[in-house]
Amino acid sequence: MAHETVAAAEEILDKEFPVLDHGFVRLVDYLGGDQRIVQSARVSYGAGTKTYREDKGLINYLLRNEHTSPFEQVVLTFHTKMPVFVARQWVRHRTARLNEISGRYSVMKDEFYLPAGNAIAPQAQDNKQGREADGFDQAAQQAVREALAQQQRAAYDGYERLLDHDVARELARINLPLSTYTEWYWQIDLHNLFHFLRLRMDAHAQYEIRVYAEQIFDITRRVCPIATEAFDEHVRGGVRFSRSEFAVVQRLLSTPGDGSEPADRARAAAEAEGITGRAAQRIVSKIIDGISG
């Protein structure tokens, strides 16, 4: 099968899209696009045998019904630069192939992530692994930035002193902080990329990895516009219900309206099914806000 080129993707190959303060994402290469998905699904049909509308319908059908193998035929390769703590979350997606810069062979650059604005926020009261949506005031934000910068400078100064004393690079690097920037080449098929994006673009994902996922999604739109639109419709914009949650939805739909607020009705339906507390609030969020919990 001949290599399929996509004009919109060709326009941005090797172009750096900045993320955070020193990071970036760039598309290095891609294999296939929407047509590769369609051809793989139909197998025996050549290119151009169906209309755009029929191709779009097929891709939506495949994604809606979780027929994933045709999406594995499309492969994208990215060059990304991110803080180490972002990379350590990212690498949990083990279905990709990657090659990262090595501090054993290379001297690490004096580049560290410094959060800004509302990214500097207190610990969330209802989420052990997240921060509040509203940041500290500007004075407190600046104080945090100065403290982080001071610690980063001290760590890098120590790193350089060890190198100057001919300490091996693989040992000198060990005290560098998680805010140090690293780089890698990351290759992944579209099916597994969609799984990464579903998790990392979610509102509950950490801000610093979420902005990378959003940039990658924008780039992927260039390669597979139909497939990414279908992903937006059926996955990113969709909501899944468990069996008990669906029972709440059924009860809500079968109960006449009493003029109360939708959230109150949803909460009452959950309580009628014996669901209370945080579990009930998750159901309310799904029904009212479309946010999967």
226, 277: one domain: no
36, 82: one domain: yes
- Total domains in the fold of the chain: 3
205, 74: one domain: yes
Sign, CA torsion 186/190/196/200:
positive
With pLDDT > 90 as the criterion, what percentage of the chain qualifies? 67
Catalytic site residue from 36, 173, 200, 265: 200
With CA atoms as reference, report the closest residue to 29 among 103, 83, 97.
Answer: 97
214, 87: one domain: yes
Residue by residue, DSSP assigns 99-147 as EE--TTTSPPPS-B----GGGS-PBPSS-TT-B-SS---HHHHHHHHHH
Residues 266, 244: contact at Cβ < 8 Å?
A: no
DSSP 72: G
Instruction: Write the CB contacts of 143 (distance below 8 Å, at least 6 apart in sequence).
Output: none
Six-digit token pair at 165?
């004393």
pLDDT tens-place string over residues 142-193: 999 999 999 999 999 999 999 999 999 999 999 999 999 999 999 999 999 9
165: in domain: yes
Q: Is residue 254 pLDDT above 70, yes or no?
A: yes
pLDDT classification of 268: cutoffs 50, 70, 90: confident
pLDDT classification of 48: cutoffs 50, 70, 90: low
**Domain residue limits at 131:** 117-175
pTM exceeds 0.75 for this model: yes
The question of whether 200 is a catalytic residue gets the answer yes
